[in-house]
Amino acid sequence: MTRLLVINGPAAVGKTTLCATLAKHQPGCINISGDALRWFAPPDVKNHLGPGSTYKASAALINAYTEMGASLILFDYIFPTPQSFTGFVNMLSPEVTFHLFTLWAPLETVRAREAGRKERERLGEQVIQTHQTLENNLDFFRQHGQILDNDAANPDHCIRLITQSL
């Protein structure tokens, strides 16, 4: 059985940083970054492969690692709506047990982080858009997982909460 930790949240909230830090303390852990997955596809991928293609690709990759025997997979991605998340979950192998964590911080904090990210592409309006959409759907994500306050610059607090819940 594979444990999948889904780290959700708006753009620039700290998902990738948290997962990279958490993966260092989990031997054999597979760490799949949404940023890396999006590098494989052109910006207009949905015009060629249809909507949700990166969700489908990520589920296929998680299922492949599950078949290879991975015991723990971290996956950071933006699931802004209940439909995006449930559609993704429905594509996972029955051998995968998932735990959902949604990182949350005030919009001002997220915008400041995005502005200070060195060597990373600026996301601009995507930060505001994903924050607003997720904010409108926080009740769903709270019902299906945990909302973690990631307002502080240090991810250690969230890492402790994630490891304690497992």
Class of domain 2-165 as given by CATH: alpha beta
Angle at 147 between CA 159 and CA 100, to 5 degrees: 75
pLDDT by residue, tens only, the chain of 166 residues: 999 999 999 988 989 889 999 999 889 999 999 888 888 888 888 899 888 888 999 999 999 999 999 999 999 999 999 999 999 999 999 999 999 999 999 998 888 877 766 666 656 778 889 999 999 999 999 999 999 988 766 678 888 889 887 7
* pLDDT (0 to 100) of residue 115: 72
Identify whether the C-beta of residue 64 lies closer than 8 Å to the C-beta of residue 75. no
Distance CA 100, CA 121 (A): 26
Q: What is the pLDDT of residue 150?
A: 85
SS3 of residue 18 by DSSP: helix
CB 102 within 8 A of CB 141: yes
pTM (2 decimals)? 0.91
Q: Which amino acid, residue 119? A: E
pLDDT of residue 151: 78
Q: How far is it, in rounded angstroms, from Cα 5 to Cα 32?
A: 10
For residue 45, what is the enclosing H or E element?
A: helix 45-49
Predicted pLDDT of residue 25: 86
Task: Tell me what pLDDT residue 123 has.
Answer: 62
